[in-house]
């Protein structure tokens, strides 16, 4: 009888301690969560470039226009042009192919009394379909209104080109 009580007690202890014939063993390993952040868009201005309307006389009212696609300069009175100017140039870098919106100044820009950039234009116009491998060039042109009698001198004023994505 003692053996029976001992066996019963042993069986009860095994059941109470959670003995399980289908026991699971856990194994763990550690890893990392990580990310690299890059600038989505970078824009550089070509050193030494500007939206340059060249050298002109102010004997009469006239306009000078720089075509952003070709850099070609025209004037409402070609006789007023002394030396030709050139378009401005920006380069855009992107980490993946993306469409970018180009925003130019919406208002005229005074360079001085009687000298006003009345319109800015870009090539491409409005949207740049930028590619990771490039090139992603933006050229800026515009129209300068020259008033008769504008004073001789060198004139410059900053403007802002904005890229949105």
Buried b (16+ CB within 10 A) or exposed e, 80-114: bbeebbbbbbbebebeeebebebebeeeebebeeb
pLDDT-derived band at 7, boundaries 50, 70, 90: very low
Q: Which residue has the higher pLDDT, 162 or 2?
A: 162
Both tokens assigned to 10: 């042993």
The pTM for the full model equals 0.78
The pLDDT tens digits for 37-79 are 877 899 999 999 999 999 999 999 999 999 999 999 999 998 8
Give the span between the Cα atoms of 13 and 9, in whole angstroms. 6
pLDDT-derived band at 21, boundaries 50, 70, 90: low
């Amino acid at each position: 009888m003692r053996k029976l009580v001992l066996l019963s007690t042993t069986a009860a202890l095994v059941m109470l301690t959670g003995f399980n014939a289908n026991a699971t063993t856990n194994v763990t390993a550690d890893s990392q969560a990580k990310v690299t952040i890059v600038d989505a868009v970078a824009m550089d201005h070509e050193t030494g470039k500007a939206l340059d309307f060249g050298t002109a006389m102010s004997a009469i009212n006239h306009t000078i226009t720089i075509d952003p696609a070709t850099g070609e300069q025209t004037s409402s009175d070609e006789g007023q042009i002394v030396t030709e100017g050139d378009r401005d140039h920006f380069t855009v870098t992107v980490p993946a192919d993306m469409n970018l919106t180009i925003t130019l100044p919406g208002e005229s820009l005074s360079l001085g009394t009687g000298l006003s950039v009345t319109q800015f234009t870009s090539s491409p116009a409005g949207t740049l379909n930028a590619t990771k491998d490039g090139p992603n060039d933006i050229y800026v042109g515009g129209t300068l209104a020259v008033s008769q009698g504008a004073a001789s001198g060198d004139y410059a004023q900053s403007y802002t080109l904005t890229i949105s994505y």
